[in-house]
Amino acid sequence: MTPWQSYLSEQDLAVIARGKFGRRMGFGQRPAVVVIDAQNYMVGEHGNDAAWPSSCGEIGRAAVSAIAQLVSAAQERAVPCFFTRFELDPNGADMGVYRRKRDLLNSEHWCLAGTVGAQLVPQLVPGPGDIEFVKKKPSGFHGTPLLGYLVERGIDTVIIAGGATSNCIRATVFDASSWNFRTIVPQEAVFDRIPISHAISLFDMDRQFADVVPLAQVLEYLAGSTPLSSRCSSPESQAGTGPSAA
Amino acid sequence: MTPWQSYLSEQDLAVIARGKFGRRMGFGQRPAVVVIDAQNYMVGEHGNDAAWPSSCGEIGRAAVSAIAQLVSAAQERAVPCFFTRFELDPNGADMGVYRRKRDLLNSEHWCLAGTVGAQLVPQLVPGPGDIEFVKKKPSGFHGTPLLGYLVERGIDTVIIAGGATSNCIRATVFDASSWNFRTIVPQEAVFDRIPISHAISLFDMDRQFADVVPLAQVLEYLAGSTPLSSRCSSPESQAGTGPSAA
Amino acid sequence: MTPWQSYLSEQDLAVIARGKFGRRMGFGQRPAVVVIDAQNYMVGEHGNDAAWPSSCGEIGRAAVSAIAQLVSAAQERAVPCFFTRFELDPNGADMGVYRRKRDLLNSEHWCLAGTVGAQLVPQLVPGPGDIEFVKKKPSGFHGTPLLGYLVERGIDTVIIAGGATSNCIRATVFDASSWNFRTIVPQEAVFDRIPISHAISLFDMDRQFADVVPLAQVLEYLAGSTPLSSRCSSPESQAGTGPSAA
Amino acid sequence: MTPWQSYLSEQDLAVIARGKFGRRMGFGQRPAVVVIDAQNYMVGEHGNDAAWPSSCGEIGRAAVSAIAQLVSAAQERAVPCFFTRFELDPNGADMGVYRRKRDLLNSEHWCLAGTVGAQLVPQLVPGPGDIEFVKKKPSGFHGTPLLGYLVERGIDTVIIAGGATSNCIRATVFDASSWNFRTIVPQEAVFDRIPISHAISLFDMDRQFADVVPLAQVLEYLAGSTPLSSRCSSPESQAGTGPSAA
């Protein structure tokens, strides 16, 4: 059973059937993992969430375990992992119109540059070929070098984890699928503060823009993947020869 | 009462209060209207919706009336309106990864280039300063010239209407607010096939990325606006002088 | 001898040697051809160029022959070709800040939508898998769906032809290499109105952003390439299997 | 006399006249300054340039004085300044296809993150409202938050300084004018390693994409500008009122 099934009516299901929505994109040949905002400020602290204004609490901490499994499986197969961190300047100069929507909170437990809140959660450690970078907006693609990193690595499948499902995950999913990557969301590895926003976002994304699947299915896929290093030759070895069949 | 209130629990409301989400962006000085995919294939035909695979039915047609009011109010004040049309080549070459998610339907009533389904609904007619353009992806900004059009006109406020709320409206809202425009969604002027997706998308957007407001409030704002033509001098008259106070 | 050699001093060559500029990117495995603005208004008419305000004259027409060879070689190997057309609305609404820099010319022989000037030159005919699209700005990537088309096809090498070298070619080369595609410019297949702008642009691009090479080298590369159709399996056949080695 | 005049033939001038190229964009109402890669590695060290592989030498150091004047004039009028720094990870993971074109140099005097070479030159100090950020590609817009910063501040005029003229300046100019900003290049405040690349790039940009003007003209313009702070009201004071005339 999907996380959203209980929210839907008979009529909703009929609409989906008529439009032929929700086929599977399927996995491609060259995956990458993109971990969105898996930072301390997003998951808070057991027993002390009230001190972390944007914490997603236990739900976030459970997802972090799933994300750690995903990252670990990817790193074992040399599948590249990208880690975004949402970070704002304490002076507010880079916050943009979002500052009209929300206060710039003066807290070590939020996403201000230089604070503990803005750091990656300790369970996640980028590997040698991985890249960590800052973003200023919901999507991991917006105003960042992410897309170029994926193009260079010949990625065709983007596996997206992190939070929050209805904000940054969703924006990143829109962009990944709009750039024509097969877009995969392992459902246990994304999280949100609001249960209904989480469930309905998963439903909406699965209908049109991504495959929302159990983490186990993604782990199985990664386990069967050939390490990227053996598929991608180095700059030196590729230069100047004709494009023979892959 | 908002369209989403009935879906939220006490706990959800507490989370929102702790995070200080959902302030008002407010309207700025130079608005534009962006109408997303208000095309025949999205709203179908009274009594014959079964023949239109992506029709949003009566809900869509009611929203079209609201959109027509909005556009008309904008055009009266020379507020520029931009109309996107989602259009696919019948040969599928431009469909991208979406083709893995959904069939390319062979129907005059879908969004294929050259069909009646792909045309703007007849109630909407672009005015002399307005621009209609094709998009290939959910967001009105993705792979289109929209952002440059807004920059050139000095727009600071983007009013977004059309459908579907949980797909193209939401993607366009993410982009508009990520580009730092004040982003306004008149709630009667957006529509969706799935009621819960509609309501929860409005809730999610209003929390962080846009002001979701009654259409009446937008009409009042537009009525009070100074026509753009008197605010924006022509290319000829602006060249080469110093930047005097606005 | 390169087209720019005669313009450089000993000192210039020393600077280049110290910075270790100008290595070869080399060709990759999956090429695409991007033809920029190979339209009637760019190449005019033999004996009548005075009637075509933006014509590049004989230089342009010679390049069109080279472009036709390139496209033909690509189409034979099912290497996808993308054709941009620069097109402006006769009412000027979409011209942007460029209108301050240059008049909107009221001529059938310029780039206005619907005129003969805006059409592709007759020597170039898009094939079944090719895509032709309109752009509003110098780069073929700016405000267009091109990047997504390349991502979907797994392209790693972009071969850029058309004109003008110092304007639209150069802007497209900047974008292609910034998105991390190997970027190739066949020197006979690009053209410009101003000889020194042409030569120095080729030099600048070759130093940092592209390999500027003889057309013959590109044709040889394409002749050795495996048709894309046999490398890319269809959506149906790829779904859901593990990523085995390419 | 312009910096490029001596390079042009009679025929070149006739082509320009026929195409009606090279009008003035003129200055707008809300300027911003964008300083590109004014970093130590770009300008080297007097008497020791051989130790700085990408140094532009005296030419770069002279331009830095001009840039400092420009920035100072802007800061006095509260015109926002944005400073890009081109920075690469010493492990090469973020270098992309550029790595095929050029070696990753292992030097403290190049642009590696954490080295003295990657720092802004000491003559330039961002002010309280200014923003400094890293870019990975030639254009200051590519994969960075710059465009959103400009939109949020209602900028209509982008003054571009720094280096190198034929690489990063030119790429940034293409993007600024493609996004429909009036684009201004103060000719003494940009610099390049190669004199002819510098001159011809200025010529090419002035013809179509920017006004290349003496620094004195920009300083005069800035001196006549109203401080941004008095033109832009704060978030608090703008919310919710109708858009009165500017």
Express each pLDDT in C34-47 by its tens digit.
999 999 999 999 99
Whole-angstrom distance, CA of residue C64 vs CA of residue C122: 10
Q: What is the pLDDT of residues B131-174, one digit of tens each?
A: 999 999 999 999 999 999 999 999 999 999 999 999 999 999 99
Whole-angstrom distance, CA of residue D231 vs CA of residue B243: 11
Q: Please say if the pLDDT value at position B54 is more than 70.
A: yes
The per-residue pLDDT for A225 is: 73
Name the region of C142 (left: φ>0; alpha: ψ -120 to 50; beta: rest). Answer: beta
Q: Please say if the pLDDT value at position D237 is more than 60.
A: no
Q: For the residues D22-37, what does the mean pLDDT come to? A: 95
What confidence tier does A23 reach under pLDDT thresholds 50, 70, 90?
A: confident
C-alpha distances (whole Å) from D90 to each of A212, B54, D100, D103, D134 are 36, 51, 15, 12, 15
| Contact: A225, C243; criterion CB under 8 Å | yes
Chain A residues near residue D138 by CB distance under 8 angstroms: none
The per-residue pLDDT for C102 is: 87
Instruction: Please give the residue that has the higher pLDDT: either A230 or A73.
Output: A73
Q: What are phi and psi of A88, to 5 degrees?
A: -120, 150
Q: What is the pLDDT of residues C98-134, one digit of tens each?
A: 999 988 999 999 999 999 999 999 999 999 999 999 9
Average pLDDT, chain C: 91
Nearest residue in D to B243, CA atom: D29
Q: What are phi and psi of B113, to 5 degrees?
A: -55, 135
> Is this prediction's pTM over 0.90?
yes
Evaluated on CA atoms A173, A177, A181, A183, the torsion sign reads: positive
The per-residue pLDDT for D240 is: 36
Contact A45, B127 (CB under 8 A): no
Whole-angstrom distance, CA of residue B213 vs CA of residue B202: 10
User: Which residues in C225-234 are b (16+ Cβ under 10 Å) and which e?
Assistant: bbebeebbee
Q: Which helix (H) or strand (E) holds C226?
A: none
Whole-angstrom distance, CA of residue A42 vs CA of residue A109: 9
Interface A-C: count of C-beta contacts within 8 A: 100
Contact B35, B84 (CB under 8 A): yes
Q: Which of B179, B225, B240 sits opposite D26 (nearest CB)?
A: B240
Q: Which of C89, C129, C148 sits opposite B143 (nearest CB)?
A: C148
Q: For the residues B34-46, what does the mean pLDDT come to? A: 97
CA dihedral D197, D199, D200, D203 (to 10 degrees): 150
Q: Which of B154, B156, B240 sits opposite D24 (nearest CB)?
A: B240
Chain A residues near residue D97 by CB distance under 8 angstroms: 152
Contact C119, C39 (CB under 8 A): yes
Q: For the residues B221-230, what does the mean pLDDT come to? A: 69
Q: Is A188 helix (H, G, I), strand (E, B) or coil?
A: helix
Whole-angstrom distance, CA of residue B186 vs CA of residue B184: 6
Whole-angstrom distance, CA of residue C205 vs CA of residue D197: 11
**pLDDT cut 90: percent of chain C above it:** 83
| Contact: B128, C96; criterion CB under 8 Å | no
Q: For the residues A102-108, what does the mean pLDDT come to? A: 90
Token pair belonging to D76? 């006095």
Q: Which of D179, D240, D243 sits opposite B151 (nearest CB)?
A: D179
Residue type, position A242, single letter = G
Tell me chain D's radius of gyration from C-alpha atoms: 19
Q: For the residues D195-200, what does the mean pLDDT come to? A: 96
Whole-angstrom distance, CA of residue D101 vs CA of residue A48: 52
Whole-angstrom distance, CA of residue A211 vs CA of residue B167: 15
Q: For the residues D192-203, what does the mean pLDDT come to? A: 96
Q: For the residues A73-89, what does the mean pLDDT come to? A: 97
Q: What distance in Å separates residue D117's CA from the closest CA in chain B?
A: 32
Burial class (CB in 10 A: 0-12, 13-18, 19+), B171: buried
Chain D residues near residue B151 by CB distance under 8 angstroms: 150-151, 156, 179-181
What confidence tier does B226 reach under pLDDT thresholds 50, 70, 90?
A: low
Whole-angstrom distance, CA of residue C12 vs CA of residue C6: 12
Best CA proximity match to B10, nearest among A130, A194, D84, D199: A194
Contact B81, B74 (CB under 8 A): yes
Nearest residue in B to A57, CA atom: B15
Q: Please say if the pLDDT value at position D105 is more than 80.
A: yes
Q: What is the 3-state secondary structure (H, E, C) of chain B?
A: CCCCHHHCCHHHHHHHHHHCCCCCCCCCCCEEEEEECCEHHHHCCCCCHHHCCCCCHHHHHHHHHHHHHHHHHHHHCCCCEEEEEECECCCCCCCCCHHHHCCCCCCCCCCECCCHHHCECCCCCCCCCCEEEEECCCCCCCCCCHHHHHHHCCCCEEEEEEECHHHHHHHHHHHHHHCCCEEEEEHHHEECCCHHHHHHHHHHHHHHCCEEECHHHHHHHHHCCCCHHHHCCCHHHHCCCCCCCC
The per-residue pLDDT for B110 is: 95
Q: For the residues D53-72, what does the mean pLDDT come to? A: 96
The per-residue pLDDT for A208 is: 93
**pLDDT cut 70: percent of chain A above it:** 91
Q: What distance in Å separates residue A180's CA from the closest CA in chain C?
A: 5
CA angle centred on D133, ends D131 and D136, rounded to 5°: 155
What confidence tier does A226 reach under pLDDT thresholds 50, 70, 90?
A: low
Average pLDDT, chain A: 91
**pLDDT cut 90: percent of chain B above it:** 83
What confidence tier does D226 reach under pLDDT thresholds 50, 70, 90?
A: low
| Contact: D245, B238; criterion CB under 8 Å | no
The per-residue pLDDT for D1 is: 78
Q: Please say if the pLDDT value at position A22 is more than 60.
A: yes
Q: What distance in Å separates residue C51's CA from the closest CA in chain A?
A: 41
Beta-carbon count within 10 A of B17 CB: 10
| Contact: D148, A144; criterion CB under 8 Å | no
**Helix B170-178 / helix A170-178 crossing angle, nearest 10 deg:** 100
Q: Please say if the pLDDT value at position A10 is more than 90.
A: yes
Q: Is C66 helix (H, G, I), strand (E, B) or coil?
A: helix
| Contact: B203, A197; criterion CB under 8 Å | yes
Token pair belonging to D29? 């109402």
Q: What distance in Å separates residue A229's CA from the closest CA in chain D?
A: 13
Whole-angstrom distance, CA of residue A145 vs CA of residue D145: 10
Q: State the DSSP string of A5-41.
A: GGG--HHHHHHHHHHT--------SSEEEEEE--BHH
The lowest-confidence range among A136-145, C52-61, D225-234 is D225-234
**pLDDT cut 90: percent of chain D above it:** 83
Residues of A annotated as catalytic are: 168
Q: Please say if the pLDDT value at position B233 is more than 70.
A: no
| Contact: D174, C171; criterion CB under 8 Å | yes
Q: Please say if the pLDDT value at position A231 is more than 70.
A: no
Residue type, position D19, single letter = G
Average pLDDT, chain B: 91
Q: Please say if the pLDDT value at position A126 is more than 90.
A: yes
**Helix D170-178 / helix C170-178 crossing angle, nearest 10 deg:** 100
Q: Please say if the pLDDT value at position B236 is more than 60.
A: no
Strands D157-163 and D131-135, by their bridges, are: unpaired
What confidence tier does D19 reach under pLDDT thresholds 50, 70, 90?
A: confident
Chain B residues near residue C152 by CB distance under 8 angstroms: 96-97
| Contact: B102, A208; criterion CB under 8 Å | yes
Chain D residues near residue A175 by CB distance under 8 angstroms: none
Q: Which helix (H) or strand (E) holds C160?
A: strand C157-163
Q: What is the 3-state secondary structure (H, E, C) of chain D?
A: CCCCHHHCCHHHHHHHHHHCCCCCCCCCCCEEEEEECCEHHHHCCCCCHHHCCCCCHHHHHHHHHHHHHHHHHHHHCCCCEEEEEECECCCCCCCCCHHHHCCCCCCCCCCECCCHHHCECCCCCCCCCCEEEEECCCCCCCCCCHHHHHHHCCCCEEEEEEECHHHHHHHHHHHHHHCCCEEEEEHHHEECCCHHHHHHHHHHHHHHCCEEECHHHHHHHHHCCCCHHHHCCCHHHHCCCCCCCC
Name the region of C139 (left: φ>0; alpha: ψ -120 to 50; beta: rest). Answer: beta
| Contact: A15, B103; criterion CB under 8 Å | no
Chain D residues near residue C177 by CB distance under 8 angstroms: 97-98, 101
Q: How far, rounded to the nearest angstrom, does the alpha carbon of residue B207 sit from its chain's CA centroid? A: 18
The per-residue pLDDT for A56 is: 94
Best CA proximity match to B137, nearest among B183, B101, B189, B181: B101
Q: Please say if the pLDDT value at position A232 is more than 50.
A: no
Whole-angstrom distance, CA of residue B140 vs CA of residue C92: 21
The lowest-confidence range among A3-12, C10-19, C212-221 is C10-19
Chain A residues near residue C152 by CB distance under 8 angstroms: 180
The per-residue pLDDT for D235 is: 40
Whole-angstrom distance, CA of residue D154 vs CA of residue D26: 17
Whole-angstrom distance, CA of residue B213 vs CA of residue B20: 19
Chains that touch B (3 or more CB pairs under 8 A): A, C, D
Best CA proximity match to C110, nearest among D182, D19, D172, B58: D19
Contact A54, D91 (CB under 8 A): no
Contact A182, A30 (CB under 8 A): no
| Contact: D156, B156; criterion CB under 8 Å | no
Contact C41, C49 (CB under 8 A): no
The per-residue pLDDT for D15 is: 85
| Contact: D178, C53; criterion CB under 8 Å | no
Q: Which helix (H) or strand (E) holds A60?
A: helix A57-76
Contact A23, B100 (CB under 8 A): yes
The per-residue pLDDT for D230 is: 40
Q: Which of D94, D131, D137 sits opposite A131 (nearest CB)?
A: D94
Q: For the residues B10-24, what does the mean pLDDT come to? A: 85
Interface C-D: count of C-beta contacts within 8 A: 146
Q: Which helix (H) or strand (E) holds A146?
A: helix A146-152
Q: Which of D24, D30, D242 sits opposite B221 (nearest CB)?
A: D242
The per-residue pLDDT for B204 is: 97
Q: What is the pLDDT of residues D111-151, one digit of tens each?
A: 999 999 999 999 999 999 999 999 999 999 999 999 999 99
Q: What share of chain A is helix, strand, coil (3-state, %, to 5)?
A: 40, 15, 45
